[in-house]
């Protein structure tokens, strides 16, 4: 891999080491999922964006680059420009290289569609659970109201 330097003599590797060090507060590590969540600028779709010409040139762009692509390049050493990186964790702002997989566009789009469909199904199931819980609460309330209205039975 070609070495990229900025005016201060900093390399791509040293800059990425600095960005990916949690104590510098550019990433926050989710202990539950292992995701490295980018804490700075994000695109509307959730992907982290780094504005560093040094990093952008290493990744193959002009001024800005997607953080997950830079992190993957830093960890693995090579990345084709036409390659997509699939977030195996499903978190767009994650830049943990172990959560990323190089795939072609068709695989990435198919996985996105699958996740979208599963997400929609989960939302529908949660709505059904809410509806059933409301019905259960209504039936329990009706049962309590009936028991309050009926006088206690007396033996004769």
Q: Is 72 among the domain residues?
A: yes
The verdict on 69 and 141 lying in the same domain is: no
The verdict on 21 and 91 lying in the same domain is: yes
The verdict on 75 and 95 lying in the same domain is: yes
Check: pTM over 0.75? Answer yes or no.
no
Q: Which domain holds residue 80?
A: 12-103
Structural domains in the chain (count): 2
The verdict on 80 and 117 lying in the same domain is: no
Average pLDDT over residues 68-74: 91
The verdict on 120 and 144 lying in the same domain is: yes
Q: Is 4 among the domain residues?
A: no
Q: Is 70 among the domain residues?
A: yes
Residue 69 predicted with pLDDT over 60 = yes
28 with 37: CB under 8 angstroms? yes
Q: Is 28 among the domain residues?
A: yes
Of the pLDDT bands very low, low, confident and very high (cuts 50, 70, 90), residue 152 is low
> Residue 66 pairs with which residues in a beta bridge?
49
Of the pLDDT bands very low, low, confident and very high (cuts 50, 70, 90), residue 5 is low
Share of the chain above pLDDT 70, in %: 90
The verdict on 99 and 109 lying in the same domain is: no
Lowest mean pLDDT among 26-35, 40-49, 107-116: 107-116
What would the DSSP string read from start to end of 58-122?
HHT-SSEEEHHHHHHHHHHS---TT-EEEETT--TTB--GGGEEEE-HHHHHHHHHHHHHHHHHH
């Amino acid at each position: 891999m070609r070495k990229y330097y900025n005016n201060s003599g900093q390399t791509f590797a040293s800059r990425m080491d600095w960005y990916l060090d949690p104590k510098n507060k550019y990433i926050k590590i989710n202990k539950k999922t292992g995701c490295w969540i980018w804490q700075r600028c994000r695109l509307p779709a959730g992907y982290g964006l780094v504005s560093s010409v040094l990093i952008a040139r290493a990744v193959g762009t002009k001024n800005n680059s997607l953080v997950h692509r830079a992190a993957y390049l830093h960890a693995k050493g090579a990345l084709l420009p036409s390659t997509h990186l699939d977030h195996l964790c499903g978190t767009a702002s994650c830049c943990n290289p172990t959560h990323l997989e190089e795939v072609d566009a068709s695989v990435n789009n198919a996985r996105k569609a699958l996740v979208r469909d599963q997400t929609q199904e989960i939302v529908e199931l949660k709505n059904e659970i809410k509806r059933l819980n409301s019905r259960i609460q209504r039936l329990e309330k009706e049962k309590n109201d009936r028991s309050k209205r009926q006088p206690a039975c007396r033996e004769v």
